[in-house]
C-alpha cells in the first residue's frame, strides 16, 4: 500500500466526516434516482427546509453534489459518481455482517 501524506489523510478524514451524518446519507439516497429540487428533498427526507439546505450546502461544498438554478428553483444532483460505488461497498459490507450475525443468533 502506498503511503499517504498527512495532508492527504486530513482530506480523506474530512470526506468521511461529511458522510458521517444520517440526513446527508438520506439526501444522497434521494438523489441516486436523479436530480431533485430543495422542496422535493425536504418532502423525501421529512426534514425542515433550513436543515436540508444546510446539509445540501455541506455536500455541495465538498464536491459530492452539484447544483444548478432554474428560475427560482435550485436543483441538486450527484457530482461525484464514485459516491455510488462507496455506498454500495459500505451497504454490501454491512449487509453481509448483519446477515452473518443474524445467522449466529438464529442457531440458538
Domain that holds residue 53: 6-80
pLDDT of amino acid 99: 85
Instruction: Return the pLDDT at 107.
Output: 60
Please give the model's pTM, rounded to 2 decimal places.
0.81
User: In this structure, is residue 95 part of a structural domain?
Assistant: no
As a whole-number percent, the residues of the chain with pLDDT over 90 amount to 64
Give the CATH number for residue 21: 1.10.10.10
Rounded mean pLDDT, 9-14: 89
In a domain, 91, yes or no: no
Which tens digit of pLDDT belongs to each residue from 47-81? 999 999 999 999 999 999 999 999 999 999 999 99
Q: Total structural domains in the chain? A: 1
Spatial strand order in the sheet of 36-37:
36-37, 73-78, 65-70
Amino acid at each position: 500500500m502506498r503511503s499517504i501524506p498527512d495532508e492527504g489523510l486530513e482530506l480523506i478524514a474530512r470526506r468521511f466526516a461529511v458522510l458521517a451524518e444520517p440526513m446527508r446519507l438520506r439526501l444522497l439516497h434521494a438523489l441516486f434516482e436523479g436530480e431533485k429540487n430543495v422542496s422535493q428533498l425536504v418532502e423525501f427526507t421529512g426534514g425542515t427546509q433550513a436543515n436540508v439546505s444546510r446539509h445540501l450546502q455541506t455536500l455541495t461544498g465538498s464536491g459530492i453534489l452539484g447544483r444548478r438554478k432554474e428560475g427560482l428553483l435550485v436543483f441538486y444532483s450527484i457530482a461525484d459518481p464514485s459516491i455510488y460505488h462507496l455506498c454500495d461497498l459500505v451497504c454490501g459490507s454491512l449487509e453481509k455482517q448483519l446477515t452473518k450475525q443474524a445467522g449466529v443468533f438464529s442457531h440458538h
